[in-house]
Amino acid sequence: MGSALLNLIPSLGRSVIQTQGLLSEISAFLFEVFKEIFRPPFRVRETIKQLHFVANESLIIILVCVCFAAMVTILESSFHMKLVIQNDSMVPGFAAMLILRELGAVVTALLLTSRVGAGFTAEVGLMKITEQIDALRMIGLRPIHFLVVPRLIACILGAVFLTIFANGICLYSAMLVSEIYLGFTPATFLLAMNRFVEMQDFWFSLIKAAVFGALIPLVSCFVGFRTQAGAEGVGSATTKSVVTSSIGIIIFDFVLSYLFSFFY
Amino acid sequence: MKSETKVGLLFLGSVLVVVLFSYYLGVLSPFSDSHTLNIMYNYAGGIEEGSPVRVMGIKVGKVRKIDFDPGFKMPSGEEVKLRISISVEKKAWDSIRKDSKYFINLAGVIGEKFLEISPGSLEASALTPGETVRGEDPPRIDQLISQSYGLAGKFLEIMNKNEGSLTSTIAQIDKLITNINRTLVLVDRTSKNPDIARLIDNAVKMSDDLTYLTRNLRSKKAEDSYELVHKLLFRLEGLDGPAIKKFFQEEGVKARLF
């Protein structure tokens, strides 16, 4: 009992020190990234290449997934409303609101995490363990400026573009489903949507998208830079990066939704 | 295709989607075919920017802006302090006339507020875009409730204060009704008595005779008789006592002679 307690205290202290070290590393990383964003040269070509990887190559997957998510949302909310008040005339309105305020941005960001975030971590991690990052430093290139900044900008822009498309396709598929299965004409759908949805919902979803878009490369590159040696290290880093940024997205979604609720 | 072109296309596409969104949500309206109209209220009962405007129940526009204008007076001199600017589609514009009325109504399960415009008559002249008109203030449900609440309170107070007298009044009314009932029973019983029936019968006959009499009294013949009697009396008036005496004496003598 006594020895267990004695062992507990140092392990507690160790974890506090580790956490503190991690926090200082994170803040140093964030500070560095923020500083490097505004430092020339701006690597436009590399940014566009990353944007192509983030946005264009993810477009189809994301559109298909959010399309189905939107269909499920509208069918479920119609079912629930019929269960509760035997009337689903308001369903297009608040399903559209839910899609715009939550679904579009969050589903897009989670899909981007698993596709792009994992890719970034693997790329950076492999560069780390093959000492390419040290080589970059040796030839006078700043690794964060060279690797992180283009990915960050590309991912923010890509997430915003993808969310715009996702919102559009979500509402379109919701409209189709509500026409085919629930008997709303597109005009009634738009009218009910107009009653609830305002332009600020759309802008808020884009703000969310930008925040999630920034979160993904920051987390994945940070984890990538800390990759341990070996193929196993890259694998565990990738897993860790996807899990962390998914959790981050969910938490930031809550924080932003809470903040935006003050604007209504 | 180069990746740069693809990214550019993606960017253009997303801009297009944003524009479409703003169009459908009514933020952008490049093909605007509506006129604006300012409606003044003193109480607008929960109407909001973006609330629908309906003419004869059909949605033709929305509330654009709500302003407070404390110094505003209607041409009639009335102070009206809330200006609601609405847009109305051109197709419905001609239905709105000088004598149209502007109500604030409630619709739907969620109690959505909308502005209803009653169509005006053709004789009234048309409105010019941007004109300021007076709306019908909606009834204040809250005031109504508080007033009726006060009224109910007063009624209860009166009831409580006069409980004793009210009870006795009711008891007396009850007694009165019992008495009336008894009287009615008596009357009923009496009317079935044969003597009484005969009495009533006779009374009826008597009144018939009286009617006949009075009718005759009022006839032309009777009036002539009155006239004659009147004349006679008039002539008799000139005769004084001794003359009459003398006359009767003479007559008496004559009578005796014959």
Q: Taking the domains of chain A in order of start, what are their residue ranges? A: 43-258
How does pLDDT run across B17-36, given as a tens digit for each residue? 888 888 877 777 667 677 88
Contacts of A85 in chain B (CB under 8 A): 109
Number of domains in chain B: 2
In a domain, B229, yes or no: no
Indicate whether B97 and B58 sit together in one domain: yes
Please list every residue in chain B whose beta carbon sits closer than 8 Å to the beta carbon of residue A193. Answer: 24
Residue A2 has pLDDT above 70, yes or no: no
- Tokens read off for A64: 């298909």
In a domain, B249, yes or no: no
Of B13, B24, B112, the CB nearest to A195: B112
Q: How far apart are the C-alpha atoms of B130 and B83, rounded to whole Å?
A: 12
Cβ separation A89–B27 shorter than 8 A: no
Contact B21 A202 (CB under 8 A): yes
Residues B105 and B20 in one domain: no
Q: Could you tell me which residue, B190 or B85, shows the higher pLDDT?
A: B85
Same domain flag for B37 and B137: yes
- Which site among A45, A48, A196 would you substitute to test the B interface, given the most B Cβ atoms closer than 10 Å to its Cβ? A48
Whether B37 is in a domain gets the answer yes
Q: Is the pLDDT of residue A57 over 60?
A: yes
Segment B160-185 mean pLDDT: 91
Residue B42 sits in the same domain as residue B96: yes
DSSP secondary structure letter of residue A261? G
Q: What is the pLDDT of residues A62-99, one digit of tens each?
A: 999 999 999 998 888 888 888 888 777 778 888 888 88
Closest C-alpha to A156, from A121, A198, A108, A226: A108
What is the amino acid identity at position A176? L
Q: What are phi and psi of B36, to 5 degrees?
A: -105, 155
Establish if B6 belongs to a structural domain. Answer: yes
Q: Is the pTM of this model over 0.80?
A: no
Answer whether residue B73 is part of any domain: yes
pLDDT value of position B22? 83
- Quick check: B1 contacting A, CB < 8 Å? no
CA distance B14 to chain A (A): 6
Distance CA A61, CA A115 (A): 10
pLDDT at A45 over 90: no
Pairing state between β B112-117 and B52-55: parallel
Q: B177 in a domain, yes or no?
A: no
Give residue B45's pLDDT band: very low, low, confident or very high (50, 70, 90).
Answer: confident
- Please tell me which residue of chain A has the smallest CA distance to B4: A48
Taking contacts as CB-CB distances below 8 angstroms, the residues of chain B near A192 are: none
pLDDT for the residue numbered B166 = 85
* Amino acid found at A13: G
Task: Please give the pLDDT value at position B173.
Answer: 95
Pair (B2, B90) in one structural domain: no
Confidence of residue B109 (pLDDT cuts 50, 70, 90): low
The mean pLDDT of chain A is 88
| Interchain contact B11–A (C-beta under 8 A) | yes
Is residue B48 located within the same domain as residue B4? Answer: no
B132 and B38 share one domain: yes
Please say whether the dihedral angle defined by the alpha carbons of residues B138, B141, B143 and B147, taken in this order, is positive or negative: positive
pLDDT at A110 over 70: yes
B152 touches A: beta carbon within 8 Å: no
Q: Is the pLDDT of residue A250 over 80?
A: yes
Compare all CA atoms of chain A with the CA of B28 and give the residue at the minimum distance.
A199
Are residues B119 and B26 both part of a single domain?
no
What's the pLDDT at B108? 61
Domain edge (last residue) among B98, B126, B142: B142
Provide the domain limits for residue B23: 1-31
Q: How many CB pairs under 8 A join A and B?
A: 54
Q: Are residues B112 and B89 in the same domain?
A: yes
B10 shares its domain with B38: no
Q: Is the pLDDT of residue A1 over 70?
A: no
Q: Are both B88 and B138 inside the same structural domain? A: yes
Decide: residue A29, CB within 10 A, 0-12 exposed, 13-18 middle, 19+ buried.
Answer: middle
Give the best residue of B12, B14, B29 to mutate against chain A (max A CB count within 10 A): B14
B25 contacts chain A (CB < 8 A)? yes
A52 to B109: CB separation less than 8 angstroms, yes or no: no
Residue B175 domain flag: no
Residue ending a domain, choose from B142, B160, B175: B142
Regarding whether B106 and B79 lie in a shared domain, the answer is yes
Domain membership flag for residue B42: yes
Helix (H, G, I), strand (E, B) or coil at A214: helix
